[in-house]
Structure formats: C-alpha cells, structure tokens
C-alpha cells in the first residue's frame, strides 16, 4: 500500500509486510512544465512560480 503524505511534498509512505517505510520522490522535468504546473495548481503568477521553484531547487541541492 502506498499513501501520499500531501500534495505539497513529494513524500510517500509504503507499507510492506506491516513495516512502514518512507520514500522521498523527486521528479525532474523542464522548468517551463514545472512553472505551468505551479501556476495552475497554486493559482500564482509565472514570476512567483519561477521564484519558488528556484528557491526549492536551491534548498534541495543544499
């Protein structure tokens, strides 16, 4: 069984043989696609979406 933690985080819980494991998933795609998805999902401007995605990517790298 796989349970998604939330829409804003890429964390899933996987239960195998009554043992729960946490898996962090990061999907890479073109920046244009990511911006469009952020704009659609969060109803924000493309400028704000780009800012948030760059910030998120920087935090991920550190």
Q: How many domains does the chain have?
A: 1
DSSP 30: -
The pair of structure tokens assigned to 31 is 């920046």
What does the pLDDT read at residue 2? 43
Three-state SS at 52:
helix
pLDDT recorded at residue 60: 79
What pLDDT score does 51 carry?
96
State which residues of the chain have pLDDT below 50: 1-6
- Full-model pTM: 0.58
Q: CB-based contacts of 2: which residues, under 8 Å, 6+ apart?
A: 12, 13, 14, 15
**What's the pLDDT at 35?**
93
pLDDT of amino acid 50: 95
Where in the sequence is the domain holding 14, given as residue range(s)? Answer: 2-61
Question: Measured over all CA atoms, what is the biggest interatomic distance in the chain, rounded to whole angstroms?
Answer: 45
The whole-number pLDDT of residue 28 equals: 75
H or E element in which residue 12 lies = strand 11-16
The pLDDT assigned to 49 comes to 94
């Amino acid at each position: 069984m796989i349970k998604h933690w939330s829409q804003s985080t890429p964390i899933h819980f996987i239960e195998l043989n009554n043992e729960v494991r946490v898996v962090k998933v990061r999907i890479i795609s073109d920046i244009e696609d990511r911006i469009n998805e952020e704009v659609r999902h969060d109803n924000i401007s493309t400028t704000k979406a780009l800012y948030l995605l760059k910030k998120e990517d920087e935090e991920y790298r550190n």
